[in-house]
Amino acid sequence: MTFSGIIVAAGSGSRAGGDKQWRTLGGKPVLRWSAEALLNAGADELIIVVAPGAEPRVAEALAGLSHWRTVVGGDVRAQSVRAGLAALTGHADQPVLIHDAARPLLDRAVIDRLIAALSDADGALPALPVADSLRRGVDGRMAGVVEREGLWRAQTPQAFRRKTIEAAYAAWTGPDAPTDEAVVVEHHGGRVALVAGDPRLMKLTYPEDFAMAEALLSQATR
């Protein structure tokens, strides 16, 4: 099935020491991994949301690929997502997958699970059960246990039909920067499915995450 992809890549990567989406990982720019995964899985339009002036870096990172174009994002992730949504041209029922450039290790199986889940849900996101036991901390001291049962770590891509996500954003009256798209759809009364996530789909956030991602990549090709 064809779908639209939006990759948000307009962040500054401050916690990683800057510009993480353009760094090389396993021989390719970080952004290229996700773009190839979405295009190979059937994306027939791919919107890359970037900071002003970063368009040439996208052209360099995605050289040789087609069906992508850039739009300029905003100061916070939610604004970048909105800019990506505004650029879509697919039909109302077309699935839209919204993905973080900072999660390069996107497997086809995750994409397939998300699109399949849209047959009986209004949205879908990959999630992993929380493994560690959780504590509340106040001023560096333990202040009770948070029950782990029923808690999940949300990943991207997050998937919706175009008309669903657009209607949910049109009706949204919450904060300007909701946590993510699934929150907006859930708030609009939509049912959002949690599909099996993938530990490899880690987000590159801190400098040390790059070594972990390189290690995961080298395992996959062995």
Which one of 38, 47, 96, 101 is in contact with ligand CTP (CB under 6 A)?
101
In whole angstroms, what is the distance from residue 119 CA to residue 190 CA?
13
State in angstroms the smallest separation of the CB of 146 from ligand CTP: 23
Supply the minimum distance, in Å, between the C-beta of residue 72 and Mg ion.
17
Residue 146: partners with Cβ closer than 8 Å, 6 or more residues away: 134, 135, 136
Q: Name, in order, each residue with C-beta under 8 angstroms of 11's C-beta and a sequence gap of 6 or more.
A: 20, 21, 51, 77, 80, 101, 102
Which residues have CB under 8 Å from 24's CB, separation 6+?
30
Do residues 181 and 98 make contact, with C-beta atoms less than 8 angstroms apart? yes
Region binding ligand CTP by CB under 6 A among candidate stretches 10-18, 53-61, 133-141, 162-170: 10-18
Query: Which residue of 29, 73, 95, 178 would you call a contact of ligand CTP, by CB under 6 A?
Result: 73
Residue 179 interacts with ligand CTP (CB under 6 A): yes or no:
no
Tell me the window of 36-44, 94-102, 116-124, 184-192 that interacts with ligand CTP (CB under 6 A). Answer: 94-102
Helix, strand, coil percent content, the chain, rounded in steps of 5? 35, 25, 40
Residues 6+ apart with CB under 8 A from 63: none
Could you tell me which stretch among 9-17, 89-97, 133-141, 194-202 binds ligand CTP (CB under 6 A)? 9-17
Pick out residues in 201-220 that bind ligand CTP (CB under 6 A).
Answer: 203, 205
- Pick between residue 129 and residue 207 the one whose CB is nearest to Mg ion: 207
Question: Rule CB under 6 A: which residues touch ligand CTP?
Answer: 8-16, 21, 49, 73-77, 80, 100-102, 203, 205
